[in-house]
Amino acid sequence: MINRPIDKLNIKLKYGTPIIGTHVSLAEHCITEVMGETGFEFVWIDWEHSAMDRRDVQNHLIAARAAGIAAFVRVPWNDPVLVKPILEMGPDGVVFPMIRTAEEARAAVASCLYPPKGIRGYGPRRANNYGAMSGDEYLRQVETSFWKIMQIEHVDAVKNLDEILTVDGVDTIVVGPNDLSGSAGLLTQTRHPEVLALLDEIAEKCRDHKKPFGVSLGFAKETIEDWKRRGCAWIACGGDTGYLYEGAVGTYKNVKEIMNG
């Protein structure tokens, strides 16, 4: 029986079914419930670039469970001190930003695993359903209960990607096009030929290693089509602040046209 949202995503990966999610950066956890109602299959809770605190992150994870969708948390940095409390909240994935070497990827994986495989301290809270799950049951499934996601967003990472992809415990990678373009001296120029070549190289290496990959970006039809062509398995697209702004601007313009017409 499939009980966990991550199991549903794993089945989609197995059969090559696209997985579509979106970003959440505002603290109000009802936003995650709304995203679940729209049909998104996961939310990317962005703890790196937002004003959210750990309580806000946990509330989003609770809302995701209520909505029946998976939830990934991007931590601010590849630091076990930051990762550990997030793991205790029971996310479906942890995104490690700015992974540039295999050594950094190994450190990220180690922070997620208990000894002897890793360095994670034992203290599950929500991760073992507040104790409803026995210790033995929890340990049997803990390594498969969430994705360990390495974010590739620097030219150094592309150079080292073959080694990163062979690190045991790396479940998937995700591309960050904006910071990748910045590391090439072309910040936000994600359709510059030099950047497009880097993105194609990432996809080619992932295919060679049979490692699923995702991408985090906004919405542009041409860009989405490019990632489909590259064989992207999952995509985090758009986000709450953009939806709020676009909806507000659209409403204001429509009402203004009516009232002034």
Interval 39-53: pLDDT, tens: 999 999 999 999 999
Structure tokens at 76: 């601010």
Q: At 153, phi and psi to the nearest 5?
A: -145, 35
How far apart are alpha carbons 15 and 71 in whole angstroms? 21
- pLDDT < 50: residue spans in the chain: 1
Query: Interior CA angle at 238 toward 233 and 243, to 5°?
Result: 150
- CA-based R_g, the chain, Å: 19
The answer to whether 209 is a known catalytic residue is no
Q: Note the pLDDT of residue 232.
A: 98
What local confidence, expressed as pLDDT, does residue 5 receive? Answer: 93
Crossing angle of the two packed helices 102-112 and 80-88, in degrees rounded to 10:
40
The H or E element containing residue 195 is helix 193-209
Of the residues 23, 49, 154, 209, only one is catalytic, namely 49
Instruction: Choose among 43, 68, 67, 69: nearest CA to 57.
Output: 43
Query: What's the pLDDT score for residue 255?
Result: 98
Per-residue pLDDT, 2: 53
pLDDT of the residue at 1: 39
pLDDT given at position 261: 87
101-110 residue pLDDT tens:
999 999 999 9
pTM of the model: 0.97
CA atoms within 13 A of residue 169's CA, in its CB half-sphere = 19
